[in-house]
Amino acid sequence: MNPYRYRVALRATHPHADLVPLFEAIGLRPSRQWVAGAPRRAAADGTVSGHHRDSYATAPLSGDAAADGGARAWADEPFEAFMRRQLDRLAPHQPALQALAGEGGRCELAIGLSAGESFGFELSTWLCEAAARLRLSLAFDIHPDAGT
């Protein structure tokens, strides 16, 4: 048994464009977003000095998992199967994602992994090629469980 959990989010940056329309076209509601030039905000909605240099948006893809704040367990759906399903979901939006990259923007799948013991999985050539066709980077953030 692979005892790991994972979260996946779509993240995008762009030098100036509002990214919310792209996310809405994909069927995602950004959990966090801003537009280049907007004032920075503190966590308590207070203004912080400066302005955002680039536009940014992020939305969870694994948010349909009810337990653990959106984290999915391998036992619920193996990571590889989840990633394939998400890349299939994003495939119809390939022209928009490629255009974003062509305009100086960047889009990635931000993948958070955690486990109490060692684990492994394979990123198949199909997954890597599908992400590359969509101009999506894969960004991994790996956390050991607390107390391990």
Each residue's pLDDT tens digit, 63-120:
654 444 567 777 788 889 999 999 999 999 999 999 999 999 999 999 998 888 887 7
Under 8 Å between Cβ of 48 and 40: yes
Q: Does the structure show a pLDDT above 90 at 136?
A: yes
Which ranges of 16-121 does DSSP label H, i.e. alpha helix?
Answer: 20-26, 79-90, 94-102
Domain ranges of the chain: 5-144
